[in-house]
Structure 1
Amino acid sequence: MLETVEQETGASPQWSIIWLHGLGADGHDFAPIVPELVRPQWPAIRFVFPHAPKRAVTINNGMPMRAWYDIVSMDFRSRADAAGVAESVAQVEALIAREQERGIALDHIVLIGFSQGGAITLATGLQRREKLAGLVALSTYLPEVDAAAAQLVAGANTQPVFMAHGTGDPVIPVQIAEHSMQVLKQLGFAVEWHRYPMAHQVCGEEIHALGDWLQARFDA
């Protein structure tokens, strides 16, 4: 089981949000965003921020760092090593199963990821036979996008998706993210898509929009 940083916004949480960080960061990276995101009327939530394993990253001269998968090339159609993606999906599934064991229903679990973490979020979502409350993919893309239709599990496309990206992102061009979004829509996912004038980051307007989207999940 991956090590995690956890925050609970109230006693006996009935919702869980599992939030995956980006390349080279760790589970502490997005923990400070909780007070900015959470609204007073929301139910009690357990935020789970896992640490990705350390692995050598090819495009960074093999330097070991926390990464959800190796980045083997600059071509977005093949940059994510498939074995690393599969390993991380399995580790995320173990975290989801643990939340179920702690009494959280699957339809009360939201999976969020930024950059590499967002790629794992989407890869996990494609393969889920039992749907989560929703998937959130921030500043990211769908790995192996050309093979997405073959990877899609029946019923997985009933999970709602929130995607947001910076128009000036120098790490993952917005066109790459938009292509992933279009593929997800073609596969039947309901995707709420946002663009912001920012780089490879998050912004306040984006967090507010994400809060509105999460509010709709809680209301449902």
Structure 2
Amino acid sequence: MAEGEHALLESIERETGPAPLWSVLWLHGLGADGSDFVPILPELVRRDWPPMRFVFPHAPVRAVTINNGTRMRAWYDIRDFDLANRADAAGVAESVAQVDALIAREVARGIAPSRIFLAGFSQGGAITLAAGLRRTAPLAGLVGLSTYLPSMHEAAGALAPAATAQPLFMGHGTQDPVVPFAAGEQSATWMRDHGFDVEFHRYPIPHSVCLEEIRDLGDWMSRRIAAA
């Protein structure tokens, strides 16, 4: 393997029909794995959608500082409870490269970037936003649930001009004790202020997803698919 290349992450895949025309990459949260969001598919997928491939990758196992160095699946180390210093930049960059490799595999399998959604929850959502703002070939859309934009004070320097063509769906619980609601709202505002079309929803839930949120996301995805 050449320097700079990344082995593809192991993933769970589900296809809603033969010969998928669209792909969705879904990144789980800290300490979970790719199986975490597979159960939402019956509530998310609409009957009139074209055949889709859902890819649920497993994050690498690494030591997580705030959890006393315990090794678990994580997209990056969490060094501090303070959001401004929470994500280690090297870990974020590594995960962004691994996500880009998964997107490249979907393109190699015949799915154009404009028919690929990138979604994530919590830590996975942070990687979704970090990867999304660097995209030079825009995706069909970005989805960030219960999440925040890491290293926001440096993010403008990484923003690719073409990236803002990607619509963004964000949902956040007003009772979230892990990623405060204000952090999600602030991240949505940053993305909007830097040119992204952001649809932001609030829900009376903790650090989780709810049925209403999945239905709102499905409505948003339906509009993106219909507009393609």
Once the two structures are superposed, the pairs formed by residues 113-128 of structure 1 within 5 Å of their partners are: 113-128=120-135
- Quote the offset at 1:46 in angstroms: 0.2
Once the two structures are superposed, the pairs formed by residues 28-177 of structure 1 within 5 Å of their partners are: 28-177=35-184
Aligned residue for 1:155, secondary structure, equals helix
Residue by residue over 1:161-186, the C-alpha shift from the partner in whole angstroms, topping out at 9 and shown as x without a partner, is 00000000010110011111111111
Question: Over the residues paired in the alignment, what is the CA RMSD in angstroms?
Answer: 0.5
Q: Which residue identity is paired with 1:15?
A: W
Match of 1:190 among 197, 202, 209: 197
Q: Which residue identity is paired with 1:106?
A: P
Residue by residue over 1:137-189, the C-alpha shift from the partner in whole angstroms, topping out at 9 and shown as x without a partner, is 00000000111211111111111000000000010110011111111111010
After TM superposition, the structure 1 stretch with the greater mean CA deviation from structure 2, 160-169 or 144-153, is: 144-153
| TM-score, with structure 1 as normaliser | 0.99
Separation (CA, whole Å) in 1 of partners of 2:85 and 2:177: 18
Separation (CA, whole Å) in 1 of partners of 2:99 and 2:155: 19
Separation (CA, whole Å) in 2 of partners of 1:155 and 1:93: 16
The runs of at least 4 consecutive aligned structure 1 residues that moved more than 6 Å come to none
Q: Which residue identity is paired with 1:151?
A: A
Residue by residue over 1:21-55, the C-alpha shift from the partner in whole angstroms, topping out at 9 and shown as x without a partner, is 00000000000111111111110000000000000
Residue by residue over 1:57-85, the C-alpha shift from the partner in whole angstroms, topping out at 9 and shown as x without a partner, is 00000000000000011111111000000
| TM-score, with structure 2 as normaliser | 0.96
Q: Which residue identity is paired with 1:61?
A: N
Aligned residue for 1:210, secondary structure, equals helix
Report what 2:5 is aligned to.
none
Residue by residue over 1:102-154, the C-alpha shift from the partner in whole angstroms, topping out at 9 and shown as x without a partner, is 00011000000000000000000010001000000000000001112111111
